[in-house]
Amino acid sequence: MGMWLFIFTELFLFGGLFLVYAIFRAKYTEDFHEAALELNTFIGTVNTVVLLVSSMTVAMSITAIQKGEKGRAIRLLLATIFLALIFMVNKYFEWGHKFEYHIYPGSPVLVNMPKGELLFFGLYFMMTGLHALHVLVGMVLLAVTIRQISKNKVRSDHYSLHENSGLYWHLVDFIWIFLFPLLYLVT
Amino acid sequence: MEKHHISTYFSHGTVLVALLVLTAITVLVAELHLGAISVGVALLVASVKGTIVLTYFMHLKYESLFYKIMVAGVLVVYTLVIIFTFFDYMFR
């Protein structure tokens, strides 16, 4: 229950940003289109697939713990964390590529762009950055869960931590499911 | 700890396949460059994917009605926020 309530707050946090995006997109449609062309749809798609698979692995890890399959639960959680790591590495390359072209918050290049493009990139960095932070937090939660499973503190008859960490992870995926088309497939 | 429905590995795998297919559809439709239609389709497909994640991965299907109503309620409120904001913006 608590985790669901927290998830609602997160939905409004990102939802608010989506709203800002929507309004400015309506206002600066051409600029947003131009700016979005700079994004790498391939990496975006790969990252989408990565997160979707990671949602499956974490869901499977819960099935495993419910069945008392300790080793499998841990392996599936490790797989989830590994996929999250791949996501972060992709993000690193993506942002790195932007920085190479001097596109980053506060850069002189960005400041001299048409207003709509500036807004797009501002939103892009803000939303994907905030999302990436959530990915990191999720990785920590999942790692803690692994630790607790190995210590038998999380078991088939006591796995709230695991379940809630899973819910948090699905939220991270849920947000990306909307982030991806709106930022990358905008044209 | 109340007795909980245990999803099968198979059902999780099936859900993933469905999500991947929907992702492919989104990307393909975007490639067609249909402008506003692509955006509409993208959002619609994203909503379907999100609902699938909520229903199966987040186990909402097997939770009590209370949770289902809560989540639906929050999503309705959020949608209203978007709609009202747009009404305001469009008719200023």
pLDDT band at B2 (very low <50, low <70, confident <90, very high): very low
Q: If you ran DSSP here, which 8-state letter would residue B62 be given?
A: G
Alpha carbons A119 and A34: distance in angstroms, whole number: 12
Q: Is the pLDDT of residue B8 over 50?
A: yes
Alpha carbons B25 and A18: distance in angstroms, whole number: 22
Predicted confidence at residue B40, as pLDDT, reads 87
Q: Distance (Å) from the C-alpha of residue A177 to the closest C-alpha of chain B?
A: 6
Predicted confidence at residue B1, as pLDDT, reads 41
What digits encode the pLDDT tens for the residues B31-58?
A: 888 878 888 889 999 999 999 999 999 9
The pair of structure tokens assigned to B23 is 């992702």
Which candidate from B30, B46, B89 shows the least CB-CB separation from A178? B46
Nearest 10 degrees: Cα torsion A79, B23, A20, A28: 140
Q: How far is CA A126 from the centre of its chain?
A: 12
Q: Is A186 helix (H, G, I), strand (E, B) or coil?
A: coil
Q: Is A101 left (phi over 0), alpha (psi -120 to 50) or beta?
A: alpha
Q: Distance (Å) from the C-alpha of residue A121 to the closest C-alpha of chain B?
A: 19
Low-confidence ranges of chain A (pLDDT < 50): none
Could you give the domains of chain A? 2-184 (1.20.120.80)
A157/B39 Cβ within 8 A: no
Distances from the Cα of B78 to the Cα of A10, A61, A123, B73, angstroms: 12, 31, 19, 9
pTM assigned to the model: 0.92
Q: Which residue of A has its CA nearest to B8?
A: A63
Which candidate from A56, A63, A177 shows the least CB-CB separation from B49? A177
Q: Which of B57, B62, B63, B80 to mutate to test the interface with A (most CBs of A within 10 A)?
A: B57
Residues of A in contact with B19 (CB under 8 A): 52, 55
Q: Distance (Å) from the C-alpha of residue B17 to the closest C-alpha of chain A?
A: 9
pLDDT band at B3 (very low <50, low <70, confident <90, very high): low
Q: Which amino acid is at B31?
A: E
The pair of structure tokens assigned to A63 is 């099935």
Predicted confidence at residue B65, as pLDDT, reads 94
What digits encode the pLDDT tens for the residues A71-114?
A: 999 999 999 999 999 999 999 999 999 999 888 988 888 888 99
